[in-house]
Amino acid sequence: MEETAKAMFSWGAAILLFCIIFPLIVLAAVYNLFVRRKTMVEEAWAGIDAQLKRRANLIPNLVETVKGYMSHERETLDAVTQGRKASLEASSVAEQGRAEGFLGAALGRLIAVAEAYPDLRASDSFVSLQASLGELEDEIQLARRYYNGAVRDLNILVESFPSNIVAKLFGFTKAVFFELEDPADAKPPKVSFEG
């Protein structure tokens, strides 16, 4: 009888211990998943930020190269310069999206206007800058897709049950997608100059 009581007590203790430890293990696993997803979003944003800074560093060279050929297109050049400034000063994902839409439109206008200047299109410096800009625009699009994918994964985790309980418990929140205001701005500006 004493052995039966000991066996029941040890089974009861094991079940109680399991009921305490198992939820803690699940909680830790879900918490770590949130940390991974949040870190991926931050890493993805750093990738976008690096590409945007590379492009911002290229724009003054582009403007200076174009300025000599298109001196009477001051409004277009100013729009590109203002777009670059807004992009560098953006402090949130939403602001960055608005700034990128404005800058993309200004760069598109600059490229369109530049087509009217054959000497500019023949300039080795401009051709090199145009190629670099095209590559950067492609890299920005790839970085944007990666970022938005990481945001999607985090947001699903924040809203799904039972992980939403862990999200509320530890203060994990949804991230903001990097969206451009005008869907047409999602397309990189055409930077091809064919005679």
pLDDT in tens, 13-64: 788 888 899 999 999 999 999 999 999 999 999 999 999 999 999 999 988 8
Comparing 69 with 90, which gets the higher pLDDT?
Answer: 90
Could you tell me if residue 55 is inside a domain? yes
Q: Give the number of domains in the chain.
A: 1
108 within domain boundaries: yes
Short-list 177, 176, 163, 173, CA closest to 33: 163
pLDDT value at residue 135: 94
- Kindly state whether residue 157 falls inside one of the protein's structural domains: yes
| pLDDT the model gives residue 64 | 87
In a domain, 105, yes or no: yes
Among 82-86, 109-113, 130-134, 146-150, the minimum mean pLDDT is found in 109-113
**Residue 151 belongs to what domain range?**
42-186
CA distances to 35, 68, 69 from 177, in Å: 18, 39, 39
In a domain, 3, yes or no: no
What pLDDT is recorded for position 193?
A: 44
Residue 159 has pLDDT above 80, yes or no: yes
Is residue 65 a part of any domain in this protein?
A: yes
Confirm whether 22 is domain-assigned: no
Hey, what are 156's tokens? 């699903």
Quote the pLDDT of residue 195.
Answer: 41
Place of tokens 């009581």: 5
- At 1, is the secondary structure helix, strand, or coil? coil
Angle, CA of 105, 92 and 167, to the nearest 5°: 135
Give whole-number Cα distances, 5 to 8, 16, 18, in Å: 5, 16, 20
Higher pLDDT, 115 or 140: 140
Tokens 């203790």 locate to 13
The string of pLDDT tens digits covering residues 57-83 is 999 998 888 887 776 778 888 999 999
3-state secondary structure 23-70: HHHHHHHHHHHHHHHHHHHHHHHHHHHHHHHHHHHHHHHHHHHHHCCC
pLDDT of residue 124: 87
Asked if the model's pLDDT at residue 1 lies above 80, the reply is: no
Of residues 186 and 87, which shows the higher confidence score?
Answer: 87
23 belongs to a structural domain: no
Per-residue pLDDT at 7 exceeds 70: no
The model's confidence at residue 140, banded by pLDDT at 50, 70 and 90, is very high
Q: How far apart are alpha carbons 104 and 185 in whole angstroms? A: 6
Q: Residue 146 sits in a domain of what CATH number?
A: 1.20.1440.20
